[in-house]
A and B are shown apart, each in its own frame.
Chain A
């Protein structure tokens, strides 16, 4: 197998983003709203720290991928199809909002 058989991601290496986010805010025990979660790549890296995560993403195919990724071991996260502009949730429901490459 060639050394570079799989193309590297153009996102930061795993754990880098979570480490940088934690420099700004403590994720532990917090209610997190992630906007533009894509395939859940980042969500599954930090979800275990948070008390709960609602991850929204406009592409249903990505939401399906995220749900599949989270199915093994992530129990506090829900993935919904939607956008920040249209998502319906209670006011003031979250401690942290996260846009990861999505604004």
Chain B
């Protein structure tokens, strides 16, 4: 990851900007059951397999800033939500990627209990978190 950033710096013009869209460092997808203005929070998922890669990417970014290759311009956190029709769709959605997140202990049971008692028109809301990082190349 550091090598990718180092090589990228070489391809950038003096004072060029590198923008990275990354998963949030700590916040993984959050599940809720929603209907008619009601929102039943279920909880956040966990991803022990993906987390070391996220940490490594953040460490690589910190490394190139610390070494003076780039200057940090901006770091901001954002979120977006998607709505899914049922737990089966949630399963498919979560398994889109190579390293799917998983429910922490008890959370799947809470989801299914909330889903069984759902009002008409209920959906499953997944909130995803991301971070935007802007780096300016230092020197030429």
Interface residues of A (CB under 8 A from B): 2-4, 7-10, 12-13, 16-17, 20-21, 23-25, 31, 33, 35, 83-85, 87, 89-101, 103
B74 sits at the interface (CB 8 A): yes
The answer to whether A99 touches B7 (Cβ under 8 A) is no
Complex CA distance for A3 and B86, rounded to whole angstroms: 11
The answer to whether B84 touches A8 (Cβ under 8 A) is yes
Q: Which 3 A-B pairs have the closest CB atoms?
A: A4-B85, A24-B134, A84-B4
**What number of residue pairs across chains A and B have CB atoms under 8 A from each other?**
123
Return the chain B residue nearest A42 by Cβ.
B21
Most buried by B among A8, A93, A94, A103: A103
User: Taking chain A's interface residues, is the majority helix, strand, or loop, or is none over half, making it mixed?
Assistant: loop
In the complex, chain A residues whose CB is within 8 Å of the CB of B14:
92
The answer to whether A7 touches B89 (Cβ under 8 A) is yes
The answer to whether B19 touches A103 (Cβ under 8 A) is no
Partner of B82, one of A8, A25, A87: A8
In the complex, chain B residues whose CB is within 8 Å of the CB of A103:
1, 4-5, 20, 22, 57, 60-61
Distance from A76 Cβ to chain B, minimum over Cβ atoms (Å) = 18
The answer to whether B18 touches A99 (Cβ under 8 A) is yes
B132 sits at the interface (CB 8 A): yes
CB-CB under 8 A for A35 and B80, given A3-B85, A24-B19, A25-B134: no
Question: What is the 8 Å Cβ interface bit string for chain B, positions 88-103, against chain A (1 contact, 0 not)?
Answer: 0100110011000000
In the complex, chain B residues whose CB is within 8 Å of the CB of A16:
78, 80
In the complex, chain A residues whose CB is within 8 Å of the CB of B21:
17, 20-21, 98-101
Q: List 22 A-B contacts (CB under 8 A).
A: A3-B85, A4-B86, A7-B92, A8-B83, A12-B78, A12-B80, A16-B78, A17-B21, A20-B132, A21-B19, A21-B21, A23-B76, A24-B73, A87-B11, A89-B11, A92-B16, A92-B140, A93-B11, A95-B12, A98-B19, A101-B23, A103-B57
